[in-house]
């Protein structure tokens, strides 16, 4: 028996797709950008006790995401960092489908608001190809983590990969999904997007 779809996944289908079609003029549902995967990555290469740090990092990632992580391996040796080629230097998890939407929902609605003095995430962390990377300094913002059981603070990067082809498209998608972008920067970007959209028909007719 198949599991019911995640709440955020249902919201994407029922509300986000129609909203983006209306706001951005997509002709059909296949043009609307979608989430492809979410990659959570952490590095422990600088830890003095790499083996122990790696096990802790893997346990914490599995606890937070609900999926078993894989180790990341160094591709070359760097003598200054006492790093050998083929050495395990971190861990990562790649989420897709239901588990991806469940993780993002917890991140957006529960974890990020728990950051002290949180004022939104940056609008400048897009890569130009429709992907967004968010840095988290420690795992304690996730409710699954019990503070008294934290053995080591684990910082990690969360990369949200979408089918969007530009920063504007990706930001519009994530905004509709509830990503809390910082107000000042978000307003500047939104204003620029609106101006660009208004000029597009004139350019096309010219």
Task: Read off the pLDDT of residues 143-181 as tens digits, 9 standing for 90 and up.
Answer: 888 888 888 888 899 999 999 999 999 999 999 999 999
Task: Note if the pTM is more than 0.85.
Answer: no
Where residue 20 sits, what CATH number does that domain have?
3.30.1440.10
pLDDT of 189 higher than 60: no
| Strands 35-43 and 131-136, sheet pairing | unpaired
Assess if residue 139 is contained within a domain: yes
Could you tell me the pLDDT band of residue 205, with boundaries at 50, 70 and 90? very low
Range of the domain at 165: 7-205
Residues 49-81 have pLDDT tens digits of: 778 888 888 999 999 999 999 988 776 655 555
CA distance 90 to 150: 18
- 42 lies in some domain: yes
Total number of domains constituting the chain: 1
Q: What gap in Å lies between CA 179 and CA 101, rounded to an integer?
A: 13
The verdict on residue 35 lying in a domain is yes
In a domain, 175, yes or no: yes
Query: Does residue 69 belong to any structural domain of this protein?
Result: yes
């Amino acid at each position: 028996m198949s599991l019911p779809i995640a709440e955020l996944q249902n919201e994407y289908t029922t509300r986000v797709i129609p909203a983006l079609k209306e706001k951005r003029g997509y002709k059909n549902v296949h043009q609307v950008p979608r989430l492809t995967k979410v990659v959570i990555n952490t590095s422990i290469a600088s830890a003095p006790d790499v083996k122990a740090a790696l096990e802790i990092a893997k346990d914490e990632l599995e606890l937070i995401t609900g999926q078993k992580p894989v180790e990341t391996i160094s591709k070359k040796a760097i003598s200054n960092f006492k790093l050998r080629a083929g050495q395990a230097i971190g861990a990562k998890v790649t989420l897709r489908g239901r588990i991806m939407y469940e993780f993002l929902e917890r991140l957006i609605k529960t974890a990020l608001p728990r950051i002290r003095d949180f004022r939104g995430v940056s609008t400048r962390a897009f890569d130009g190809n429709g992907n967004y990377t968010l840095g988290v300094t420690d795992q304690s913002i996730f409710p699954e983590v019990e503070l008294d059981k934290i053995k080591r603070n684990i910082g990690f990067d969360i990369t949200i990969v979408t089918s969007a082809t530009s920063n504007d498209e990706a930001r519009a998608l994530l905004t509709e999904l509830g990503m809390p972008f910082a107000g000042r920067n978000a307003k500047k970007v939104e204003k620029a997007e609106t101006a660009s959209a208004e000029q597009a028909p004139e350019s096309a007719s010219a």
